[in-house]
Structure 1
Amino acid sequence: MRAIGGIWRWRHNPLRRRTDLVEAWVALSALLLILLVAPLVGSLVGAVAQDVLQRSVREQRESRHEVTATVVRKVDGSPLEADPETATGREARTRVVADWTAPDGSAQHGTVLAGLKTPHSGDHFALWTDGRGRPTARPLDSATATTHAVLAGFGTALLTAGAVEAGRRLIVWRLVRRRYARLDQAWDRAGPDWGRAGTGI
């Protein structure tokens, strides 16, 4: 609103400098870009991110399989580890040697992380594998993908608004420098005659 008021105020003011009017128009343009363009860019980026992430969710659900593994033994001296794939990252997991059957029917054996705090031989736990039975991370869920897409859109809108504001400040800075340079030139032209007899003062 200050930008609109500034343009209106400087419209017919005899003290108006060209840079004052330019500064007011720049402020109005920046305001409109921040209010209209930044949300639009954020929405577009969010929509693209949502499409890509949801496609990734579908692909991961098709290529990853949850199987039931059986603990053979706990790996000696293995501490509890936080699972980076969980939402909070606080789900305790223990390194164990386990047996499981791959989706293709082949028997598998190896060291994996089990979602058990105190695993014992014969305990069962869920394990995510690829089509060949190799352990893999759990697939991305749809809600998490949507959250990431919203954050991407919101972040892009903020970055766009910040870039517009930075551009506005740069333009105003240059206008002020030009204004001061012209003022210095005017002072230089008028300064040597101050207080001298016969200069018309």
Structure 2
Amino acid sequence: MDLASTPNVLITSSGLNSAQAIRDLTAAVYDAGGSIAASKKVVLGSHYSLLMALWLPEATPASAAATLSKTLEAHVAGGASLSVVPLESAGGGAEDATVTRRLKIECPQKPGIVLTVTQLLQDHGAVTSQMEAGTSAREGAIWFEIECLVELPESVVEEVGAQLAFWSDGAGAKLLFDASPFRAPLEAA
């Protein structure tokens, strides 16, 4: 692979968590001649969910997906949910420069928090990645926490920040929206 190579297939899998499940997936990747470009696994309780981007050198995305699907059928034990998706290269166009911002929100749990925030971001052409969310008991109530990286056009950063601040003030939320690549605790209000 050269430096201009991009992954050409994506595997998604979920099921009961075990060392065998991931071993079987990686054995199938190896047998198909693939190489792992990136992987993310999350475990909740006794179940896992996994995304894995792969390179299958010298293959088109469609042929790479077909090859990998056949190999996975031979290796992966029943019970796991599997999907193989060809990854086409995105066409480049003249777009506004993008920047990355870390977004962290903590607030009392209520329905619609993620929808409100993701709709605001979508309306401004933003894309979220590495999102983590959860709840915890705090101050006699259930609190919701979400942290993610947001890729957005540089031209809308101030407007998005202002709208997030306006929303968080009305929702009783603690908000962090900055350029820091590091996780940081929010200061007490």
TM-score band w.r.t. shorter chain: under 0.3
Structure number with greater CO (CA < 8 Å, separation at least 6) is 1
Higher helix fraction (1 or 2): 1
Higher strand fraction (1 or 2): 2
TM (norm. structure 1) is: 0.19
TM (norm. structure 2) is: 0.20
